[in-house]
């Protein structure tokens, strides 16, 4: 809901009630004591105030709202939010730099780097896998969350860089007394995915302060790809030429009718028939390929175990000075799995004169090291955060609120990639002539298998990635009310921040040298940056119930690092700075109606990875529409949607800072004490947006422009490798409507609460550069125009029940079909229904059982055939019907 919700009203009423009670017993005049009404900090402004309502739209998710979702992590709760229009990243196998172990939030579809995540009003530590620019929302213990406040407009002027699309402020429980135990488990219908969570929270209060401590253990089991995707379907076609039974590709020496050289594949089809997960594509002839079904052995979501700790404390040094702080740590291990390594960074070649060459021609080998095991990756991620500061009040003038803080936070990631292959060793071993990989000598299957195991064992390599991000920040602010009268109020705040950031990521030397297959090493970064900021806010209360807020912030980034590329090592120093303002106006023509508007500029400096990452190798999935259309898709395996292309990816020293602006207009109406309605319009322009150019984007541009300097093709016209990296796009413009309503109904057979929130994206227009045609993606596949949630809850004595529905609107695939991707489908509307029942027993505890996805609604697929990972897992839940149990006990 918006800022004027029933939750907001309840908080406001509790403050006023406390004030009234103190007045009743004090005997002091109301006019004098009213000045001491407690003020609170509301997301969207650093100035403390009595009211939660501001000119900026804020959605509040209470602990009760979070419980109704039935979700197990904060990341999952946020992913279901309607403002998370196009879905958010959730870690899956196959991604390097520790990304497979993290989750993030993507407000308005502008990217996780454009959403600022706060913990109790302060920046959360960023992950090393994102150069510190993105917080991992899955690491927050859900047991400590009091509420989540979502600021739905740009707030760079208030909170600084990154608050382009909005702000997520996660408020934790404080002043907790006693002990609370929470246990939950969930079991999806699909094999795997079972999750267990246990937490213990304890707190102690005195007349001088309080301390709370929370520990949470969370464990979830892996989900295999084969248990999600329909690989038994006749239309399933995700097979690879990189097979555990090697394929050889060679020039036959013949030419076709156009005079072009004829290339063919060679493989031993008998070995193919006897090998697990391998499909014979040769019709029984030793003149073709053995295809490997890689999805049979991979994990979609890995096994993950996380231990989280958090403490909050405060102590009153004097009546006017308080020492407060917090500490947190999150330690996790994630085990992911990708199929055995395809030897593809540097393709091995069997020379024509090799004794075991069956063709007598040089053969490029397509091999996969399945015999030594799959590519298992262990990722250890440790995040930590320590904050200490003084908060005080100076009795000068109308009084000055002030605070001084010091914060140290960081993230380390260690990733170990097992069963990779050293290409140089593979090549040298094949050159010895000791390995009959095509079994031309007629060995038994076991003998041949032992030969392949020995070959790959000689080249076995463990890739190591290490990333470390740390931040030290000192900040302070002071605020006061200059004027406080019936007709006019004026409050002002000033503040400053200084932050020192270091970021380093390295991979093992062999991976960095580009001689290792199966990993993604080489994107090394060694950089540092200083951030300096000064800001001010002004709030004015005018006659006729008009409030005006003004904010302006100056922010400066100075960063230095080294970029390793084709021309060697280049050291670069860069400075990015900007002054960003924001203005907001709210008007309450009657007490029950709030009309508001806000406008603000935004600014985001490139992060250190985007600028200084050395060129690294990856293998991106993309459809080569250029070759496949020119050759009528004659090579079905190469033209498969899951085919991967060698892609060199690196940083860009020439990146410019992103800039943008945000406009919001809206109104909130408390129709009755029980019913509130909100409607808001947003419009965001995002210039110079930094994007990682995908292999699909490069191929698409090559097709539209007729050629590309970033695509290198072989003699047969197929892609040898693609060069990619980060660029500044020309602009992104998005606009839409947010609608929310809440209604409470009290009856003789229980209290009912109904909530609906919807977001409709009017446009999402991207323009790659000033010469490109702007494309409106709203409604195109992966860009749903509609997202929404319905929650209906019932409370009666010790019993409660709830029904919630998650809605994702339909999407069209026509845009992609017009570009030649004929297999892209239209995506229908998606509804996921959840139900839960709860009971509060006499021993101060609760038991809750529920089912998410009651009707086992299947997530819609991308393609018109069955494919590997053919669902947008960032947007949809693919685990199917899931049962859960939660037990809470307080002492």
The whole-number pLDDT of residue 2 equals 36
The mean per-residue pLDDT over the stretch 263-289 comes to 79
456 to 348, 354, 453, 512, 630: CA distances (angstroms): 13, 19, 5, 20, 37
pLDDT surpasses 90 at 708 = no
**What pTM was estimated for this model as a whole?**
0.86
Sort residue 90 into left (φ over 0), alpha (ψ -120 to 50) or beta: beta
| Concatenated DSSP letters of 578-624 | EEEEEEEEEEEEETTEEEEEEEEEEEEPPPHHHHHPPPEEEEEE---
pLDDT surpasses 70 at 658 = yes
The whole-number pLDDT of residue 370 equals 96
Backbone angles phi, psi at 431, to 5 degrees: -65, -20
Burial of 58 by CB count in 10 Å (0-12 exposed, 13-18 middle, 19+ buried)? Answer: buried
Tokens of 57: 């739209």
Tokens of 140: 């927050």
pLDDT band at 76, cuts 50/70/90?
A: confident
The whole-number pLDDT of residue 52 equals 62
User: In terms of pLDDT, which residue wins out, 702 or 40?
Assistant: 702
pLDDT surpasses 80 at 435 = yes
Backbone angles phi, psi at 404, to 5 degrees: -135, 130
Percentage of the chain exceeding pLDDT 70:
91
What is the rounded average pLDDT for all residues in the chain? Answer: 86
Judge contact between 214 and 181, C-beta under 8 A.
Answer: no
pLDDT surpasses 90 at 54 = no
User: In terms of pLDDT, which residue wins out, 18 or 748?
Assistant: 748
Angle between helices 445-458 and 423-431 (to 10 degrees): 130
The whole-number pLDDT of residue 564 equals 61
pLDDT band at 12, cuts 50/70/90?
A: very low
CA-nearest of 154, 85, 171 to 114 is 154
The whole-number pLDDT of residue 97 equals 61
Q: Provide the 8-state DSSP code for 717.
A: S
User: In terms of pLDDT, which residue wins out, 471 or 819?
Assistant: 471
pLDDT surpasses 80 at 405 = yes
């Amino acid at each position: 809901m918006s800022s004027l919700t029933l939750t907001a009203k309840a908080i406001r009423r509790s403050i006023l009630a406390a004030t009234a009670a103190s007045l009743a017993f004090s005997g002091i005049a109301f006019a004098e004591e009213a000045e001491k009404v407690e003020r609170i900090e509301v997301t969207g402004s650093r100035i403390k105030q009595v009211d939660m309502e501001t000119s900026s739209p804020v959605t509040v998710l209470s602990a009760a709202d979070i419980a109704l979702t039935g979700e197990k992590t904060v990341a999952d709760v946020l992913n279901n939010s309607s403002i998370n229009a196009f879905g958010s990243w959730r870690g899956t196998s196959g991604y390097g730099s520790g990304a497979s172990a993290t989750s993030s939030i993507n407000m308005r579809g502008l990217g996780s780097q454009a959403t600022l995540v706060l913990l109790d009003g302060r920046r959360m530590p960023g992950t090393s896998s994102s150069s510190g620019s993105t917080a991992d929302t899955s690491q927050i213990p859900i047991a400590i969350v009091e509420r989540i406040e979502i600021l739905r407009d740009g707030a760079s002027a208030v909170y600084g860089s990154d608050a382009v699309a909005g702000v997520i402020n996660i408020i934790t429980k404080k002043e907790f007394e006693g002990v609370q135990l929470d246990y939950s488990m969930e079991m999806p219908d699909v094999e795997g995915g079972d999750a267990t969570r246990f937490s213990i929270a304890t707190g102690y209060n005195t007349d001088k302060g309080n301390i709370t401590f929370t520990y949470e253990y969370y464990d979830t089991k892996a989900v295999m790809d084969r248990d999600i995707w329909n690989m038994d379907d006749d239309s399933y076609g995700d097979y690879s030429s990189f097979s555990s039974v090697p394929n050889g590709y060679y020039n036959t020496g013949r030419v076709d009718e156009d005079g072009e050289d004829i290339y063919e594949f060679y493989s031993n089809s008998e070995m193919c028939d006897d090998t697990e997960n391998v499909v014979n594509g040769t019709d029984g002839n030793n003149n073709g390929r053995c295809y490997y079904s890689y999805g049979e052995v991979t994990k979609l979501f890995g096994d993950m175990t996380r231990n989280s700790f958090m403490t909050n404390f405060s102590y009153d040094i004097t009546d006017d000075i308080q020492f407060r702080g917090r500490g947190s740590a999150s330690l996790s291990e994630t085990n992911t799995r990708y199929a055995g390594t395809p030897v593809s960074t540097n393709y091995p070649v069997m020379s024509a004169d090799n004794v075991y060459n069956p063709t007598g021609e040089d053969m490029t080998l397509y091999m996969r090291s399945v015999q030594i095991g799959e590519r298992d990756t262990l990722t250890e991620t440790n995040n930590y955060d320590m904050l200490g500061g003084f908060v005080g009040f100076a009795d000068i003038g109308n009084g000055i609120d002030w605070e001084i803080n010091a914060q140290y936070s960081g993230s380390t990631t260690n990733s170990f990639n097992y069963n990779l292959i050293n290409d140089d060793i593979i090549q040298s071993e094949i050159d010895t002539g000791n390995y009959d990989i095509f079994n031309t000598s007629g060995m038994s299957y076991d003998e041949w298998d032992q030969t392949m195991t020995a070959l790959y064992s000689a080249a076995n390599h463990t890739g190591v990635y290490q990333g470390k991000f740390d931040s030290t920040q000192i900040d302070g602010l002071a605020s006061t009310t200059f004027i406080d009268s019936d007709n006019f109020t004026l409050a002002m705040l000033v503040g400053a921040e200084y932050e020192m950031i270091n970021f380093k990521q390295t991979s093992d030397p062999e991976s960095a040298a580009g001689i290792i297959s199966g990993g993604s090493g080489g994107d090394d970064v060694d950089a540092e940056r200083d951030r300096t900021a000064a800001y001010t806010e002004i709030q004015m209360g005018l006659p006729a119930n008009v409030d005006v807020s003004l904010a302006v912030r100056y922010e400066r980034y100075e960063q230095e690092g080294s970029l390793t590329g084709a021309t060697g090592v280049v050291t670069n120093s860069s400075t990015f700075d900007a002054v960003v303002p924001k203005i907001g106006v709210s008007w309450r023509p009657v007490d029950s109606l709030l009309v508001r508007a806000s406008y603000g500029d935004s600014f985001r400096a490139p992060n250190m990875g985007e600028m200084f990452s050395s060129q690294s190798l990856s293998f991106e999935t993309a459809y080569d529409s250029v070759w496949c259309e020119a050759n009528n898709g004659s090579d079905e395996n190469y033209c498969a949607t899951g085919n991967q292309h060698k892609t060199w990816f690196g940083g860009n020293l020439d990146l410019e800072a992103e800039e943008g602006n945000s406009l919001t207009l809206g109104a909130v109406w408390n129709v009755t004490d029980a019913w509130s309605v909100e409607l808001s319009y947003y419009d965001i322009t995002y210039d110079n947006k930094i994007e990682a150019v995908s292999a699909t984007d490069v191929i698409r541009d090559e097709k539209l422009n007729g050629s590309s300097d970033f695509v290198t093709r072989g003699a047969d016209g197929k892609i040898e490798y693609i060069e990619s990296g980060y660029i500044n796009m020309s602009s992104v413009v998005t606009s839409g409507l947010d609608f929310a309503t809440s209604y409470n109904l009290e009856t003789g057979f229980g209290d009912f609460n109904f909530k609906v929130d919807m977001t409709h994206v009017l446009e999402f227009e991207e323009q790659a550069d000033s010469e490109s045609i702007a494309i409106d993606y709203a409604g195109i596949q992966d860009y749903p125009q509609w997202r929404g949630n319905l929650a209906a809850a019932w409370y009666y004595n010790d019993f409660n029940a709830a029904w919630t529905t998650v809605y994702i609107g339909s999407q069209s695939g026509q845009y992609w079909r017009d570009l030649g991707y004929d297999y892209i489908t239209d995506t229908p509307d998606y509804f996921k229904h959840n139900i839960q029942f709860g009971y509060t027993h006499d021993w101060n505890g609760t038991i809750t059982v529920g089912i998410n996805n009651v009707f086992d609604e299947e997530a819609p697929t991308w393609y018109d055939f069955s494919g590997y990972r053919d669902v947008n897992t960032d947007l949809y839940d693919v685990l199917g019907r899931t049962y859960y149990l939660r037990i809470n006990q307080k002492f």
